[in-house]
Amino acid sequence: MFEARLLQGSILKKALEGIRELITSGNWECSSAGISMQGMDPSHVALTVLMLQNDLFDQFRCDRNVTLGLNHATFSKILKCAANDDIITLKAEDQPDECNLLFQSANDDKTSDFIIKLTDIDQETLGIPDTEYAATVKVPSVEFQRICRDLSQFGDTIIISVKKGCVEFSGTGEIGSAKIALKESGNVDDDEKVSVEMDKDTPCSLSFASRYLNYFTKATSLSDTVTLQLCPEHPLVVSYDIGDNGSLKYYLAPKIEED
């Protein structure tokens, strides 16, 4: 028996917005630790990892590990039937072929009960090696979304460069070129501000496919801040924290510059 109740049901709605266009269907692995889902996009370029720890839920019970193979288009359609302040409960039997979703309105006048058929998805879970990142940058998630969208007009590559106290995003194309710089703010406690941490103060500059960065920013509503972790020859990590008990992370390999 698996049952997990999320008071802030909107978290699940927002998380699915960040997933459904990249991963058509995925195995949602439920264990006593929480729920996790990972998957590659159809072109096997970007890895998406969602983690919802048991503490995120006000009620959480998972007697045995359960795998919920969910079609994300269907899951998203159903979640759109939930109001933003609905309480959402996920339920499944121990060896389920369907999953139950219950939405309760804040005033309890309306209850919606959905049954989704599950799919068998053949997928292995990848281990993600620990990396020492050369640079870790936090920027307001809305600002990152806007920059990725703006630079996509110039070309299909966005270069992210981290320098002391500053992160630069740039792009070049037929119509011209663009360089957008965000300066580190004085007060780094503020969520609305930019912070830049560098290992050994070495500047770091890497190129990424703007198409994927734009996909990642579909998760913008999950968090006020997005964290970018860069390391030469390693995938970029784009992380949206879900409070203190969850995260949605994207991994994207840098483009190799053609000489």
Interface positions, 191-220, toward a second copy (CB under 8 A): 193-194
Which part of the chain contacts a second copy (CB under 8 A), choosing from 31-39, 172-180, 195-203, 220-228? 172-180
Distance between CA atoms of residues 88 and 204, nearest Å = 43
- Return d(Cα 253, Cα 45) in angstroms, integer: 7
Q: Does residue 7 interact with a second copy by CB under 8 A?
A: no
Distances (CA, A) of 249 to 21, 47, 75: 15, 8, 20
At closest approach, how far in Å is the CB of 117 from a second copy? 6
Handedness of CA 199, 202, 207, 211 (dihedral sign): positive
Shortest distance, position 233 Cβ to a second copy, whole Å = 28
Asked if 98 is part of the footprint of a second copy (rule: CB under 8 A), the reply reads yes
- DSSP-assigned states of every residue in 187-198: -TTSTTS-EEEE
Site for a second copy contains 94 (CB under 8 A): no
153 near a second copy, judged by CB under 8 A: yes
Q: Phi and psi dihedrals of 76, rounded to 5?
A: -65, -40
Nearer to a second copy, 173 or 243 (CB): 173
- Establish if 164 lies at the interface with a second copy (CB under 8 A): no
Q: Residue 130 or residue 187: which is nearer to a second copy going by CB?
A: 187
DSSP strand pairing (236-241 vs 59-62): unpaired
* Nearby residues of 232 by Cβ (< 8 Å), 6 or more positions away: 134, 204, 206, 254
The tokens describing 190, both together, are: 């503020």
Out of 122, 129, 132, 175, the residue judged to bind a second copy by CB under 8 A: 175
Kindly tell me which of 225 and 247 has the beta carbon lying closer to a second copy: 225
Give the nearest distance from C-beta 256 to a second copy in angstroms. 25
> Is position 24 an interface residue for a second copy (rule: CB under 8 A)?
no
45: Cβ contacts below 8 Å, ≥ 6 apart: 209, 212, 252, 253
> Near a second copy by CB under 8 A, which window of 21-29, 109-117, 211-219, 221-229?
109-117
Positions in the binding site for a second copy (CB under 8 A): 71, 74, 77-78, 80-81, 98, 108-117, 143, 150, 153, 175-183, 185, 193-194
